[in-house]
Amino acid sequence: MPYFVHRLDPVMLDLFGVLQIRWYGMAYLLAFLAAGLLLAVLSRREICVLAVGEVYNFIVFVAVFGVLIGARVGYILFYIPDEFIRDPLVLLRVWEGGMSSHGGMLGVLLVIIIYARKNVYPFWNLMDNMATVVPLGIGFGRVANFINGELWGRITSVPWAVIFPGEAGLPPQQADELSVYAAWQAGLLHPRHPSQLYEAMGEGFVLFALLWLIRKTGWSKVDGRMSAMFLLLYGLFRIGVEFFREPDRPEWIYLGWMTRGQIYSVFMVIGGLGLLWWPLLSRNRGSNRTISARILSEAGKSAPKG
């Protein structure tokens, strides 16, 4: 078979069958630790308003109530609202899978709003700094998706294509060479894009590098610009990678090509452009008001006294 066969075990460590540590959980842990370390760096540089000792309390708050709950609720509302209406307990069945990155981002936004108001912190400072560090965690999560053998890509013949035995219902421990070859011959397995790794690079590590570099510039000091760049660049990366990712369900394809993930990402791009455009519009409005006031003032001075 000319392609790499995915036989990675999603279980990182099995402690005598009593406790399992999975790569997906480890990815979340690494994401939160990395976010805390990076925010602490920004805090020491007096870029982030949080005190260094407060950073990890903030991260725990964001992680639990923003990322985890937001991602789960977002998946339910954005992707399977009909199932939730029929059975509300589906919200609690997290072992069945189902986390939405878009939902997680909305959850983080809501948590930052609450945290900023409660502690009287400038919202945009928290939001812009969080937007800078979030992509690294997204990258870890997408690598974990690849290790889990889930969210694979569309059928392709590129040399780096991957055979995911899970397509034929074969778990890693049963994906021996004979079983995989039999499923291949039966047409149950196909070479596919490792789109999880494309997303890890684009939405994760490349986006993080770009935002970290932008954060060091004077241009990023304007409130909302880092958040705008995150929305804009993440949306564009996600829209692009979705062309290589197998849609979760056929009914989630619109206009014959657009996935639901792309639709949500379009709104992110629009939001990012709006955040970049609004300060310019406000500045122009202010300039126009100043010019108008000056014209009226000068006209009043030159008018004949009656």
Identify the pLDDT of residue 1.
66
Contacts of 126 (CB under 8 A, 6+ apart): 48, 49, 50, 58, 112, 115, 116
Identify the pLDDT of residue 37.
94
Radius of gyration of the chain (CA): 24
Identify the pLDDT of residue 97.
65
Locate the domains of the chain by residue range.
Answer: 4-299
Residue type, 237: F
Identify the pLDDT of residue 248.
75
Q: Is 304 left (phi over 0), alpha (psi -120 to 50) or beta?
A: beta
Identify the pLDDT of residue 19.
79
Give the DSSP letter of residue 253: E
Sign of CA dihedral 235, 237, 240, 245: negative
Identify the pLDDT of residue 127.
94
Q: How far apart are CA 166 and CA 151, in angstroms?
A: 10
Low-confidence ranges of the chain (pLDDT < 50): 285-296, 299, 301-306
Identify the pLDDT of residue 292.
40
Identify the pLDDT of residue 303.
47
User: For residues 153 and 193, is the Cβ–Cβ distance under 8 A?
Assistant: yes
Identify the pLDDT of residue 73.
85
Strand order in the sheet with 4-5: 4-5, 162-163, 191-192
